[in-house]
Structure 1
Amino acid sequence: MTVQAEIVDGVLAGRHPAIARMLTHVERRTSGVDEALAALHPHAGRAHVLGVTGPPGSGKSTLVSALVRHYRDQGRTAGVLAVDPSSVFSGGAILGDRIRMSDHGGDEGVFIRSVATRGALGGLSRACLDAITVLDAAGIDVVVLETVGVGQAEVDVISAAQTIAVVSVPGMGDDVQAIKAGLLEVADVHVVNKSDREGASRTVAELREMLRLSHRRAGQWNVPIQQTVAATGDGVADLADAFAKHLTWMAECGELDRRARRNAATRIRWVAEELVLQQLRPGLAEFDAAVDAVTAHRSDPLAAARRLLDRA
């Protein structure tokens, strides 16, 4: 099976069936998918890509659903990539986030897809980045990347999104430890969800203190703290306004271009690593010969690796 030209044309026309088929090809790495992505790449770069991350149980999916509803009320289209843990049996996404957003089913202005992490330690796989390109090229206005929420290691989101929201919630364990976590340091906007709960003001105060103590540069974005109750929609419009202000600030100060270069560099590096790893696996004659040489102590691992990389 290969990626047919009409699928690319359908994606560019914004047709949901073509987008869905293209994303399936992206996850399966179907023959010809790289050429199709190359054809889509010049048409991407217009969407506002939001990264929404935070610990499990913070209400990210409910918040994303409320954001999508807000954008649709504004007449804007929205795409959601819900990054789910991979099934240990099939390797596919477990689909939990897509189930929780089922109230958007049938809306032609919304496209929702669960994407598997496929064991990516930082929470994202290469397929996630390619999926953003597909939705962006399809003309979707806002692409929301909701990450799996595995904790501090999940900072790969900064390599994919333009604006990053870190969602916290009152009463979820040791707040001081949460504030120390590297995950919170990537935030462009802090969100205290479920802020109708007891302890919300304390969580806001601790986040504000963390921001006050952080090292700031001249002209740096002033990270806001937004309180929301996603289940009722309270605060969601203000949160969307904060995202829009951040996008405007990035465009005005040049940060948007800097982040685009950073994201491009990450994608190039990830693809290069994947291409190299394809040449470094058991069963390939040169790799097996290198293993034999190291096992027999005729070579050492570093020298063998360098020779394989030179040949690759």
Structure 2
Amino acid sequence: MKSNNSMEELLGGVFDGKKRAVAQLISMAENSVEKRMEITKSIFHRTGDAHVIGITGPPGAGKSSLTNEIVKEFYKEGRKVGVIAVDPSSPFSGGAILGDRIRMNELSLHENVYIRSMGTRGALGGLSHAVESAVMIMDACGCETVFVETVGVGQSEVDIMKVADTTLVVSIPGAGDDIQSIKAGILEIGDILIVNKADCKGADLVRNTMKAMLQMGKPRDDGWIPPIIMTSAHRGDGIEETCETIRDHMNRGERSELMDDARRKKLYEVILSMLQQEIGRKTSDIYGLADELTKQIDRMHMRQINPYEWIEEKVEQCVK
């Protein structure tokens, strides 16, 4: 399939499960807001079936190795699996090292495993703005389970809640301040809590800290009590237990109205975000705001114009 294929051909390829078409469509969604809107409009009716599993936690927690081992188990069950691995983007070029793709190279050879690395592109929550679209594309191509591994930047990782049906929060011993590495804000989003590198000194301390923090928190509305699982991804320890627990949460969610409510709220957030983005982009184009800001930025820098008054003036101009 050549890169100049029409949108209709690419969409057909995605619906037929062709990897190259999936890759090309994700690239389009990642690089162009206009194409992203066109793609999501075209595939929306073919989405909503995939269960999305988010894997998050601080940098160096071994998320890629853990994801690799979990995906192997799901693939062995005959599932069609998608993996979106988010890597940090350069603040200068916008490019990313995409090391996760390198680490998962063996998995990408399997026919029913779709792997895509994406840069954060400056997204503060560690997720690219195109991640939702990439999840939808993998959903549309027939992936029953889609894993989203986040970059790992601390508290802002709560953004994974907007995408995932099941969230794994990964921590490790020896990360300095154990309490800091598992802040309540992150811990509360976890459906399953993982202490990776459990063969290292201090793993029991991390587990006990997690238990104490869970006990201090309020009970969840769905009645689910997040289990704490000790793993060592490089040795394969705890992987089977992790997969079983993921399946338990998936099955529980499929039988629960709370899952439908959660997905409805996520869809609301995604649509609202895209609506705001589109309105902002169109408004900026219509009123030439970017060009005018370019002209005025020197005067703002010299404190000759108050930028916040300028913003209020432009907003009033746009809403009249």
Contact residue 85 and residue 101 of structure 2 kept, 8 A: yes
Q: After superposing the two structures, state which structure 1 stretch, 233-242 or 45-54, moved more.
A: 233-242
- % same residue: 38
CA distance in 1, matches of 2:99, 2:220: 40
Pairing 1:118–2:127 present:
no
Which digits, 9 at most, give the CA deviation of each residue in 1:220-271, with x for residues without a partner? 2111111111112221121111111112222333121122112111211221
CA distance in 2, matches of 1:286, 1:63: 45
What aligned pairs does 1:54-69 form with structure 2 within 5 A after superposition? 54-69=57-72
CA distance in 1, matches of 2:77, 2:71: 10
Q: SS state of the match for residue 207, structure 1?
A: helix
Q: After superposing the two structures, state which structure 1 stretch, 142-151 or 242-251, moved more.
A: 242-251
CA distance in 2, matches of 1:102, 1:180: 32
Pairing 1:307–2:310 present:
no
Per the TM alignment, residue 76 of structure 1 is displaced from its structure 2 partner at its CA by: 1.2
Contact residue 2 and residue 30 of structure 1 kept, 8 A: no
Per the TM alignment, residue 95 of structure 1 is displaced from its structure 2 partner at its CA by: 1.0
Contact residue 3 and residue 31 of structure 1 kept, 8 A: no
Contact residue 76 and residue 109 of structure 1 kept, 8 A: yes
Q: SS state of the match for residue 59, structure 2?
A: coil
Which digits, 9 at most, give the CA deviation of each residue in 1:99-142, with x for residues without a partner? 11112132111111111111011111220110000001110121
CA distance in 1, matches of 2:63, 2:289: 47
Contact residue 91 and residue 122 of structure 2 kept, 8 A: no
Per the TM alignment, residue 287 of structure 1 is displaced from its structure 2 partner at its CA by: 7.0
When residues 80 and 245 of structure 1 are mapped into structure 2, their CA distance, relative to the original with a 3 A threshold, is same
What aligned pairs does 1:68-147 form with structure 2 within 5 A after superposition? 68-147=71-150
Per the TM alignment, residue 281 of structure 1 is displaced from its structure 2 partner at its CA by: 4.3
Contact residue 47 and residue 141 of structure 1 kept, 8 A: yes
Where does residue 206 of structure 2 map in the other structure? 203
When residues 227 and 88 of structure 1 are mapped into structure 2, their CA distance, relative to the original with a 3 A threshold, is same
Contact residue 54 and residue 148 of structure 2 kept, 8 A: yes
CA distance in 2, matches of 1:16, 1:303: 47
When residues 144 and 33 of structure 1 are mapped into structure 2, their CA distance, relative to the original with a 3 A threshold, is same
When residues 285 and 4 of structure 1 are mapped into structure 2, their CA distance, relative to the original with a 3 A threshold, is closer
Q: After the TM superposition, which parts of structure 1 deviate over 6 Å for at least 4 consecutive aligned residues?
A: 286-292, 294-297
Q: Structure 2: which 5+ runs fail to align?
A: none
Cα RMSD (Å) of the superposition?
2.5
Per the TM alignment, residue 89 of structure 1 is displaced from its structure 2 partner at its CA by: 4.4
When residues 31 and 287 of structure 1 are mapped into structure 2, their CA distance, relative to the original with a 3 A threshold, is closer
Structure 2 length-normalised TM: 0.88
Where does residue 167 of structure 1 map in the other structure? 170
When residues 197 and 80 of structure 1 are mapped into structure 2, their CA distance, relative to the original with a 3 A threshold, is same
Where does residue 21 of structure 1 map in the other structure? 24
Contact residue 69 and residue 236 of structure 2 kept, 8 A: yes
What aligned pairs does 1:143-154 form with structure 2 within 5 A after superposition? 143-154=146-157
2:53 aligned to 42, 45, 50, which one? 50
Aligned residue identity for 1:40 = I
Per the TM alignment, residue 150 of structure 1 is displaced from its structure 2 partner at its CA by: 0.7
Per the TM alignment, residue 217 of structure 1 is displaced from its structure 2 partner at its CA by: 4.6
CA distance in 1, matches of 2:290, 2:117: 36
Aligned residue identity for 1:123 = G
Q: After superposing the two structures, state which structure 1 stretch, 58-67 or 103-112, moved more.
A: 103-112
Which digits, 9 at most, give the CA deviation of each residue in 1:70-111, with x for residues without a partner? 111111121110111113443233211111111213211111
Contact residue 126 and residue 270 of structure 1 kept, 8 A: no
Q: Structure 1: which 5+ runs fail to align?
A: none
Q: SS state of the match for residue 106, structure 2?
A: helix
Pairing 1:191–2:200 present:
no
Where does residue 180 of structure 1 map in the other structure? 183
1:249 aligned to 245, 248, 252, which one? 252
CA distance in 2, matches of 1:288, 1:16: 40
Q: SS state of the match for residue 67, structure 1?
A: helix
When residues 7 and 289 of structure 1 are mapped into structure 2, their CA distance, relative to the original with a 3 A threshold, is closer
Aligned residues: 309
Per the TM alignment, residue 280 of structure 1 is displaced from its structure 2 partner at its CA by: 5.0
When residues 41 and 268 of structure 1 are mapped into structure 2, their CA distance, relative to the original with a 3 A threshold, is same
CA distance in 2, matches of 1:52, 1:158: 11
Structure 1 length-normalised TM: 0.90
